[in-house]
Amino acid sequence: METVKVNSTIQNQKQASTSLYKILWRWHFYAGIIFAPFLIILSITGSIYLFKPQIEQVIYKDYYHVTPNGERVSATQQIEEVKKLYPNSVVTKYRPGESASRSSEVSITLKDKSLTIFINPYTGKKMGELDNEDRIMDKIVDFHGELMAGTLGDRIVELAACWTIVLIITGLYLWFPKKKQSLSGVVIPRLTKGKQILRRDLHAVPAFWITAGMLFLVMTGLPWSGFWGSHFQTIATNSGAGYPPSIWSGSTPASTIKTKDIAKVPWAAENLDAPASKIQGFIPLSIDDVISIAKREGVHPSYSIYIPQEKEGVYTLSAFPPKAQDEVTMHIDQYTGAVLADYRYDNYGLIGKIVAWGITLHKGTQFGLINQLVSLLICLGIILVAISGFYLWWKRKPKKELGVPKAPSIKNMKPFLVLMIVLGILFPLVGLSLIIVWVLDWFIIQRIPAMKSFLNA
């Protein structure tokens, strides 16, 4: 009696595990087919963007490099020069340059265009101008982050990133050795066991090797995404554990001077017959004063100054250098010069610190060249795994079918269902896509026999 019972439970378990294997394979298959192309795009663009510092150093050499020569012209004069050259422009940003041999940059907007003007700080003369839309690296990162398709692209990339997590979890289960076997086929591909096994191993083994790196890139990239990322950042900031407000989300402090105490700009009023008392009042700090405040406060030299466009606005100093620990965001009252907020890496909450490190590691700047090379290796690995996965399917695909394992009813797969629901809640876009798949399946695929047999649904 006892033995029979034991036997039947073993059989049940076996059955359950083969059908779990099948359902995970099925999900891995569909997610892979749909998102592999995006993973390849992300890996290629990411591999290029990793080397942004080196690439820009070469292509913008004539804009970046200056020969130190005597006294520097004041920032105010440099900006005056730009205003003279571009009379109807609005100056939005000034970047003094992090070293003696680096040009300074004045960012302006002119008729819907954002331009960067490079100035030689020793002569005060323009070295060149760059339309920000023409920056090749900006295009690459735009492709990487939103497929050059704005919000829709951003959501697609985010979806691909989230589904990569599903691919990783299901893939790990499929890879995990079922029997006690040697390391070959698990961590080393089996080269002599026939083509079919070699194809499987060329997908599964490298995938295992890059799993951690791939998961890392996904998890560190997600906080940048438009939907999940911005909500995540807001929640983290408001809980006190994230970035302080104004860096990613949350408001910027306002100037402490009351609007009525600020001097009116007479040249906008055309004539000075308007009450002279209006001209009396506080006037904004010069940018040179802002620079001396930056020096006094020990801001990392790669900072930029964002120039206030509103009366109640503030000067914002911001530096996001290669290493997370050097980051600064500082708000300065545009009239009094008081430091209203000074957020360094040390002032971030725990989640903020982790995200900051994640970002610099993801971009490959935190540890310089080694960091770039490791990340490049992961990207190349992802491309290999995506292509070999596709090839693996292509080779065993029957002519008229998709060759996808038959789906057991999901109701019998409670752990899997729970996992998908949890992922669907944690990543609402995954949840949304699951609902869409379910609706499609229920209303279309299940009702059209040809579809049903093709998809093996």
71: DSSP letter: S
Q: Which stretch binds another protein (CB under 8 A): 22-30, 167-175, 415-423, 442-450?
A: 415-423
Check the CA dihedral 291-297-302-304 and report its sign: negative
CA distance 451 to 457: 8
Binding mask 234-273 for another protein (x = CB under 8 A): xxxxxxx---xx----xx-x--xx---x-x-xxx----x-
Per DSSP, helices labelled H in 124-265 are 136-146, 150-175, 195-221, 228-239
CA distance 115 to 226: 25
Interface with another protein, residue 13, by CB under 8 A: no
CB 372 within 8 A of CB 50: yes
Interface with another protein, residue 341, by CB under 8 A: yes
Among 12, 57, 101, 336, binds another protein (CB under 8 A): 336
Interface with another protein, residue 325, by CB under 8 A: no
CB of 340 to another protein, least distance (A): 5
225: DSSP letter: S
CB of 314 to another protein, least distance (A): 11
CB of 405 to another protein, least distance (A): 23
Q: Which residue has the tokens 């999900």?
A: 27
CB of 263 to another protein, least distance (A): 6
Interface with another protein, residue 280, by CB under 8 A: yes
Query: 209, 178, 206, 210: which is closest to 392 by C-alpha?
Result: 206
CB of 341 to another protein, least distance (A): 6
Nearer to another protein, 51 or 357 (CB): 357
Among 7, 69, 101, 292, binds another protein (CB under 8 A): 292
Span 295-314, contacts to another protein by CB under 8 A? 296
The pair of three-digit structure tokens given for residue 58, joined into one six-digit string: 């070469």
Query: 220, 174, 204: which is closest to 42 by C-alpha?
Result: 220
CB of 276 to another protein, least distance (A): 5
CB 68 within 8 A of CB 203: no
Count residues binding another protein (CB under 8 A).
53
CB 56 within 8 A of CB 272: no
Provide the residue count of the chain: 457
CB 223 within 8 A of CB 356: no
CB of 266 to another protein, least distance (A): 5
CB of 165 to another protein, least distance (A): 14
The pair of three-digit structure tokens given for residue 82, joined into one six-digit string: 């730009």
Nearer to another protein, 245 or 405 (CB): 245
CA distance 145 to 218: 12
Interface with another protein, residue 418, by CB under 8 A: yes
The pair of three-digit structure tokens given for residue 163, joined into one six-digit string: 């589904």
In this structure, the number of other CB atoms found within 10 A of the CB of residue 272 comes to 11
CB of 250 to another protein, least distance (A): 5
| Tally of CA atoms within 13 A in the half-sphere of 385 that contains its CB | 26
Interface with another protein, residue 339, by CB under 8 A: yes
Interface with another protein, residue 343, by CB under 8 A: yes
Binding mask 360-399 for another protein (x = CB under 8 A): ----------------------------------------
Interface with another protein, residue 426, by CB under 8 A: yes
Question: What are the backbone dihedrals phi and psi of residue 43, each rounded to the nearest 5 degrees, phi first?
Answer: -70, -40
Give the helix/strand (H/E) hosting 331.
Answer: strand 328-333
Among 124, 337, 405, 431, binds another protein (CB under 8 A): 337
In this structure, the number of other CB atoms found within 10 A of the CB of residue 170 comes to 21
CB of 303 to another protein, least distance (A): 18
Interface with another protein, residue 276, by CB under 8 A: yes
**Residue type at position 211:** T
Nearer to another protein, 213 or 253 (CB): 253
Among 425, 436, 440, 448, binds another protein (CB under 8 A): 425
Question: What are the backbone dihedrals phi and psi of residue 21, each rounded to the nearest 5 degrees, phi first?
Answer: -55, -45
CA distance 64 to 74: 18
Binding mask 74-93 for another protein (x = CB under 8 A): --x---x-------------
Binding site for another protein (CB under 8 A): 76, 80, 234-240, 244-245, 250-251, 253, 256-257, 261, 263, 265-267, 272, 276-277, 279-283, 285-286, 288-289, 292-293, 296, 333, 335-343, 347, 349, 415, 418, 422, 425-426
